[in-house]
């Protein structure tokens, strides 16, 4: 699952850079930054579960 999410994340970020839309790039990077913060805050016991949920949400709705 992690490799699929990494692929989606890389593709999403690369596509944003290809558009040269600075606001879109910022929104997408912010969504992934928030996902990473959520994983760090979750702690070891729930880290994998939160990682899956947070990065999936960031990939599906990076502009939200």
Number of separate domains in the chain: 1
More confident residue, 23 or 3: 23
Segment (H or E) for 37? helix 22-42
The two three-digit tokens of residue 59, written as one number: 């990939």
Q: What pLDDT is recorded for position 38?
A: 92
**Is the predicted pLDDT of residue 63 greater than 60, yes or no?**
no
Average pLDDT value over all residues in the chain: 85
3-state secondary structure of 45: coil
Work out the average pLDDT over 33-62.
Answer: 86
Taking the CB of residue 35, how many other CB atoms lie within 10 A of it? 22
- Binning pLDDT at 50, 70 and 90, where does residue 20 land? very high
Query: Do residues 13 and 29 make contact, with C-beta atoms less than 8 angstroms apart?
Result: yes
- The model's pTM is 0.75
The two three-digit tokens of residue 15, written as one number: 């596509």
**Is the predicted pLDDT of residue 41 greater than 90, yes or no?**
yes
Provide the residue range defining the domain that includes 51. Answer: 2-60
What DSSP state is assigned to residue 20? T
């Amino acid at each position: 699952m992690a490799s699929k999410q990494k692929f989606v994340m890389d593709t999403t970020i690369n596509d944003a850079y290809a558009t040269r839309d600075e606001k879109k790039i910022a929104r997408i990077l912010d969504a992934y930054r928030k996902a990473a913060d959520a994983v760090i805050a979750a702690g070891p016991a729930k880290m994998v579960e939160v990682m899956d949920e947070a990065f999936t949400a960031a990939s599906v709705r990076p502009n939200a």
